[in-house]
Structure 1
Amino acid sequence: MTRYQTDGESLSTTPLDAINQRLAALYPTLSPQLKQAAGFVMEHPLDMAFQSIRKTASAAQVTPSTLVRLAKRLGFDSYEPFREAFQSSVQAPPVELSGRASKLRDQASQPDDPLFVNVGEAAFDNIGRLFTADNQSRVREAARHLLAARKIAVVGFRDTFACAYHFAYVGRIAMPNVTLIRGLEGGLLTELDHFNEQDLVVVFGFEPYCAETVKALEVTRRNGVQAIAITDTLRSPLVPGSLMTFTVANATPHFFPSILSAITLSEAILAECVAFGPDQLVDNVKSFETRMRNMGAYVDTG
């Protein structure tokens, strides 16, 4: 087990927030180079977990020895245990759907039947974890990337198809360059062939990760398409190489991971696009509404 030591006290493997808190406390006492490294470490946990020390040092614009010195200031014996702390923090256990279903049956026999309340509590907690100051700035950044893209592909199969469909349907009302990738009848490669380095893909995926989603992401990356990944953990196969990653909480007593946070994040990103995009986006929404009403798509309740 990785050990972490601070102020003479040894702790077991710690979450990233404990490391970040220690870095923040040490920051004023660090040399300029160590401050440069500390800032990078706090802002790029994924790079710390997956990249070599040389690549991480290059990205942070410091030397590998600086990263080693920083690790030792935090109480690690060397750089590798330091990096392992990040790797363990982004690792998630596999989801066993059958085990979750069995737990639902067990709860049915409890006298107070807390299942309904437990589902609600999990939903509120998942949403609460989404709305942080860090995510607020990152949502706006994601919107800027979307607005700059020539075309936007949206990918999510099986359990996350609802997320992808919602993002694409709502997004296309304001931005006609949004396309939902369906992959029907073996047409996945044909659908993705039109996207290149001028474009962007928004991809959804939770454990258990869908093979078709990973395949679609691989195809777009080979064509130079940048990705915004919305997933459950930094260990997700959707993360490496993505332009941006959002990890959303999806805990629930239900037997399948909750998509509530992913849907809410989609709405926040698309709202930012309309708020900060060109006036044409508002015109597109008005035009869509007019067409729908003229075609009788909505029921008149007046």
Structure 2
Amino acid sequence: MTRHSNESDSPLDTVNQRLAALYPELSPQLKQAAGYVMEHPLDIAFQSIRKTAGAAHVTPSTLVRLAKRLDFESYELFREVFQSAVQTPPVRLSGRANQLRHQASQPDDPLFVDVGDAAFDNIGRLFTADNQARVRDAAQQILAARNIAVVGFRDTFACAYHFAYVGRIAMPNITLIRGLEGGLLTELDRFDENDLVVAFGFEPYCAETVKALDVTRANGVNAIVVTDTMRSPLVPGARLSFTVANATPHFFPSILSAITLSEAILAECVAFGPNALVDNVSQFEQRMRQMGAYVDVD
């Protein structure tokens, strides 16, 4: 399925989406090059073709072939797309964690600081000018949809649950897909071209999430995908894709950036949506207090 074009797409977005769509049919060498390109945009922007080829373990001619496969007349024109995209660098918050490291004299548990350093870096990579435009685009798509299905299993179920729980407070047309007891197809069957699916998935990618996107795509449902790389099997056919950093010294991928992205998108929905969304939030709080869901502190 061909990706829908959006006015907010940057040239780099377009290149990455085309690479993701072409990836399954590329030769092994071109796949190697494409994977490196999608995961190292800064290197593509600033390194020579020879240095990039060495880092990607391919030949310079392979990079040239990849650029031409994407209809660029030369590798230099291809690289200019990456150079333009990185002129506005991401906010670098990792330095704050490094300051903590310097402030602590011989910490008993340096892993604690390492986790914080990774968290700050992951969040910093999220807040870029390109992502700001994509967040606005995602909010507009959510607001325009009749119903929104939210999908995420295993390591990203927490992301899907958080998005659906918080989102439903303002937008009751959001549904969390649980897929319990083999009910995945039944839950998804009612969604069609008037609806939207928001899917979360990191490597190792869950077969259920891929299946959910296959089913909704066949029914004409547009998708917003939150994943870790443009090589993700969740990306092809998605209307809008976010790649978030999830590195951590912890043994499990970090979901911090995905949760933060969810909060940014949902905040944008309320900020630019109809007044009814604000009313829904107020009414939810009133109902919760009437039912005694909250404990007041004197």
TM-score (norm 2): 0.70
Say if 2:146 is the partner of 1:150: yes
Corresponding residue of 1:165: 161
Q: Name which of 3, 12, 16 aligns with 1:46.
A: 16
Instruction: Supply the AA of the counterpart residue of 1:44.
Output: T
Matched ranges for 1:100-249 at <5 A: 113-249=109-245
C-alpha contact (below 8 Å) 1:234/1:247 kept by paired residues: yes
C-alpha contact (below 8 Å) 2:228/2:246 kept by paired residues: yes
- TM-superposed CA distance for 1:48, in Å, is 3.7
Say if 2:280 is the partner of 1:284: yes
% identity of equivalent residues: 74
Distance 1:215 1:242, change over 3 A: same
- TM-superposed CA distance for 1:47, in Å, is 3.5
Structure 1 residue runs of 4 or more that deviate by more than 6 Å after TM superposition: none
Bigger Cα Rg: 1
Structure with more contact order per residue of length (Cα contacts < 8 Å, sep ≥ 6): 2
C-alpha contact (below 8 Å) 2:17/2:230 kept by paired residues: no
- TM-superposed CA distance for 1:301, in Å, is 1.1
Corresponding residue of 1:81: 66
C-alpha contact (below 8 Å) 1:41/1:48 kept by paired residues: no
C-alpha distance in 2 between matches for 1:205 and 1:281:
28
C-alpha distance in 1 between matches for 2:66 and 2:211:
33
Structure 1: runs of 5+ lacking an equivalent:
1-38, 53-73, 90-109
C-alpha distance in 2 between matches for 1:177 and 1:194:
13
- TM-superposed CA distance for 1:41, in Å, is 4.7
* SS of equivalent to 2:241: strand
Say if 2:289 is the partner of 1:298: no
C-alpha distance in 2 between matches for 1:191 and 1:125:
37
- Superposition CA RMSD, Å: 2.6
Q: What are the Cα deviations for residues 20-47 of structure 1, in whole angstroms up to 9, with x where unaligned?
A: xxxxxxxxxxxxxxxxxxx975341224
* SS of equivalent to 1:44: helix
